[in-house]
Amino acid sequence: MDPLLLYGLASAALMLLAFQYLYWRTGEGFLLPWSVAAALWVVRYAIGLWPVAGVWLARPEVFDTLAVARGFLMLYGTFLLMEKRVPKWAAWGAVIAVAVTALLPVLGTPLAILNWTAYGVFAAGCIVAGLAFAREPRFPLWERRLTAWGLGLLGALQLLYPRALVSPLVDSTGLAVAAGLQTIVAVGVPIVFLKQALLESAAVARREEIALTSALSQFTRICAYCKDVESQPGAWEPLTEFVERTTEATVSRRLCDRCAHG
């Protein structure tokens, strides 16, 4: 069993799991087509590793069809990432392009032209996805740039695939680099969402702190006995109700250790 293909399969499966889990957790629409693209990545490596499938499926036209499908899925996800609607003609055009790619060898299209075209579409999908991800302002800067570079370089690497068909050195080196870049993307995207969640949580905590400080700074009078607050002249209310009404904080009630054991 080829260790490079096995590494590629593992990194593609890691991308699939990362995209699908994040889609389930966050509902980000762009992650669904990217998940399907990652699933086709897994299929591509599995064909090379599974001897039975290799006899029937390890043909250039099959790999080219998978490449075109992955390219269009990455582009579709990028449209969703940029919150742009995909025109119906573009969606149908992508479906037809995938079907035509599978039929071109039957029509006698030269294999070299088919390879360059198919992997050109795949490369464009990854590169455009990387550029869009890098420009997405919702995500943390450095983390999204790392992931974007991984996607962009992965796309650029696809342009070498037709050359890899006639060069074992390019083929083995390309597989190793591609698997490494896939791993970067698979790890980078979850890190982006984790960092985003941490920043949002910190922002919420900061807003609550500012609101509480602002509310406390408005205190004019507090009862020395019952601790009620005079929110308006002659109008008193419990401190906990005042805090909950004037801030985003939720007050929980319990006994302190001294009172609990007193």
> Could you tell me the pTM of the whole model?
0.74
Question: What integer pLDDT is reported at residue 255 of this predicted model?
Answer: 79
pLDDT tens, the chain, 262 aa long: 678 889 999 999 999 999 999 999 999 999 999 999 999 999 988 887 876 655 566 677 788 888 889 999 999 999 999 888 777 777 777 778 777 777 766 666 666 777 788 888 899 999 999 999 999 888 888 888 999 999 999 999 888 776 655 555 557 788 889 899 999 999 999 999 999 889 888 888 888 888 777 766 665 678 888 888 887 778 888 888 887 777 767 777 777 877 777 6
Tokens 């995209």, residue? 19
Question: What integer pLDDT is reported at residue 217 of this predicted model?
Answer: 66
User: How many angstroms separate the first and last alpha carbons of the chain?
Assistant: 71
Q: Alpha-carbon distance 48 to 62, whole Å?
A: 11
Domain 3-201 carries which CATH code? Answer: 1.20.1070
Judge residue 216's burial from the number of C-beta atoms within 10 Å of its C-beta, 0-12 exposed, 13-18 middle, 19 or more buried: middle
Answer yes or no: are the C-beta atoms of 105 and 129 closer than 8 Å: no
Q: Alpha-carbon distance 105 to 222, whole Å?
A: 85
Answer yes or no: are the C-beta atoms of 125 and 73 closer than 8 Å: yes
Q: Alpha-carbon distance 65 to 184, whole Å?
A: 25
Domain boundaries along the sequence of the chain: 3-201, 218-260
Residues 6+ apart with CB under 8 A from 64: 101, 114, 115, 117, 118, 119
CA 94, 96, 98, 101 torsion-angle sign = negative
Residues paired with residue 235 on neighbouring β-strands, in sequence order: 232
Question: What integer pLDDT is reported at residue 87 of this predicted model?
Answer: 73
Nearest to 154 by CA among 121, 122, 190: 122
Q: Alpha-carbon distance 192 to 221, whole Å?
A: 47
Question: What integer pLDDT is reported at residue 28 of this predicted model?
Answer: 92
Nearest to 100 by CA among 57, 70, 64: 64
Residues 6+ apart with CB under 8 A from 73: 33, 34, 36, 37, 40, 125
In the chain, what's the furthest Cα-to-Cα distance?
Answer: 94
Q: Alpha-carbon distance 19 to 32, whole Å?
A: 7
DSSP output for 86-147: PPHHHHHHHHHHHHHHHHGGGGT--HHHHHHHHHHHHHHHHHHHHHHHHT-TTS-HHHHHHH
